Structure formats: structure tokens, C-alpha cells
Amino acid sequence: MTHPPPHFPAPQARQRWLAVLAHAPRDLLERHAAALDEAAFTRLRAPETGLTMVRARIGNRGDRFNVGDATVTRCVVRHRAADGRVAAGVGYVLGRDEARAEWVARFDALLQQPGQHDALMRDVVEPLAAETAHRRAAAAARIAASRVSFDTLASEISP
């Protein structure tokens, strides 16, 4: 029995959809995930919660320092398509919501299946990306109203 070899998407494309899925609101993700065929998935790594060290740079330029531990839940599932093609999907989400990590992993696996990629990008990923962008723009607009500029003060002190 021979199956078609797994398909490998470009890393940047996969990073993007994983970021979109990880940031997607829970209720929207759940609604999309409910339509998936559960029987086609096998858990390679059941959802598990752990800690990961978050690191950052001061002003995005200085030395790296440890901000602190963040709670992360991860999951790995395998999807077998009707044509026998196999893809493994990973899900990493902040927090301890195991269902969310598994939904992300399932979508990641499906998005690597050439037969479903385009439809899923159109019906799931792009709407979720638009929703997240909208949410961020609204938050940015709300915060922008209280923005204080120190430009004038700085120029008077330093010649």
C-alpha cells in the first residue's frame, strides 16, 4: 500500500496560519472546529500544559532578558486524508485551554493537506485573521486617544 508523500508548505505560510489560529477568539475557533471530521484525527501527543520562558529585549534592541514563565498548552495530532495522505499538525496556545490547542493542531494538519488548504484558508484562516486585526485596531484606537507625546519636553532639555 503506497500513500502520496506528505506535502510541505512554506515555513512562513505555516507560521502565519499558526499565529492566526493561536490568536483567534475561542468561540469562533470552536464554531469552525465543530465542522471537522473527528474520526480522521489521531492524537500523537495529547494536549499537555507546561511552562515556557518568555524572553524579550529592552526597547526591542538591548540585551535579552527573561520576562517570566508563561503557561502554554500544546498538542500534536495526525490527520489521514481520504487519499491516504498523512499530515501532522501542532497546536501551541497560551493558557491552559486544552480544547483550543487541539483545534489549532487539527487545523494545522488540515492546512497541510493540499486538497483542503485553499478552502480552509478562505473560510477559516482569513476570516479569523480579519477578526483579530479588527480587534487589535479597535484596541489601538481606544488607547491612542490617551497617548501623551514627550517630544517637546525632550527637545527643551537637551540642546
Partner 1 sequence: MTTILARMGAGFADPVHGAQQTFRALLGAMAEPGRVQALPDAATAGLAPQEADLRPPLDVALAATLLTLLDADTPVHLAGALDTEDTRAWLRFHTGARALPQAGAMTAARACDVDATLWNALDIGTDEAPQSSATLFVDVDALSEQPLEGAPALKLRGAGIETSRDLAVAGLSAAFWQWRTALRSQLPRGVDIVLLCGTRLAAIPRSTHVESEG
Question: What is d(CA 45, CA 74) in angstroms, rounded to the nearest whole number?
Answer: 8
37 versus 48: smaller Cβ distance to partner 1: 48
Q: How far is CA 7 from CA 79, 115, 148, in A?
A: 12, 10, 50
Q: How far is the CB of 4 from partner 1 (least distance, A)?
A: 11
Angle at 31 between CA 27 and CA 36, to 5 degrees: 140
36 versus 90: smaller Cβ distance to partner 1: 90
Binding positions for partner 1, rule: CB under 8 A: 6, 8, 42, 44-46, 48, 76, 78, 86-88, 90, 112
Q: How far is the CB of 88 from partner 1 (least distance, A)?
A: 4
19 versus 46: smaller Cβ distance to partner 1: 46
